[in-house]
Amino acid sequence: MEAYVFEIERKLTGQELAPSGKVRITTTDSLLFGPISRIVANLHHTLPQIRLEVVSSNNLLRISRREADIAIRPSSENPEQLVGQSVGRIEQAIYGSRRCFGDMAGAKEYADLPWIAADESMSYSLLDNWMEAEDLNPSVAQRYNTLLGMFAAVRNGAGLCALPCYLGDSDETLVRMGTCVPDLATDLWVLTHKDLQQTVRIKAVVEHLTKELKTVFS
């Protein structure tokens, strides 16, 4: 019965005529700290009748239950029951504090240096698998349960870390230690539920987000 109510609500929402009203967006904390905060701020000038609610969460909120209308997520594939498109690739590279590690940039080996990694509660399998393959776990000095926590640790000189280039390249206190790591690249998706994709306000926001994000990640 509850699932039926959510389905009816989604379909009624899809009958709107003008891009106005509330739109709830969910994304990760690091993406929001990076390019999305600027893109969302600019959206108000393009769609002034849209009232945005932005939820920073590293868990995929359930769009099918109206916990969010639109999700902006890194993923290797489109999650089931959602529709959308990839807007580009998130590249990652190894970064360190310019003050502490700047003179080592470009070296071939970094295993003897301290590393920052993800805590197991973060469920960051892409990074975990790469660090395991590179035999870097014995060199891990600190672990964090958020990407922004890892980013802060690197900025303060605690060690090296693989970070999204949209974070690392934007900070002058950091230095890229080498080129991008192909095994850590992943797609970025803008997603909504199939029953909401033709809703006027949802469609307008999705189009704006897609256009702007493609300029950053394509």
Q: What is the pLDDT of residue 9?
A: 57
Low-confidence ranges of the chain (pLDDT < 70): 1-18, 59-66, 78-80
The pLDDT of residue 3 is 56
**Which one of 3.40.190.10, 3.90.1150.10, 3.40.50.10300, 3.40.50.2300 gives the CATH number of domain 92-184?**
3.40.190.10
Per CATH, 2-89+186-217 and 92-184 having the same topology is answered: yes
Note the pLDDT of residue 77.
74
Q: Please, which residues have CB within 8 angstroms of residue 20's CB and are 6 or more apart in sequence?
A: 49, 50, 201
**Burial call 72-84: b when 16+ CB within 10 Å, e when fewer:** bbbeeeeeeebbb
* Annotated domain spans of the chain: 2-89+186-217, 92-184
**How many other C-beta atoms are found inside a 10 Å radius of the C-beta of residue 134?**
15
What is the per-residue pLDDT across 8-17, written as a single tens digit (0 to 9) for each?
Answer: 555 555 445 6
- Specify the residue for token string 């660090």: 131
pLDDT of residue 146: 94
Give the tens place of pLDDT for each residue, 125-142.
999 999 999 999 999 999
Kindly report the CATH number that applies to the domain delimited by 2-89+186-217: 3.40.190.10
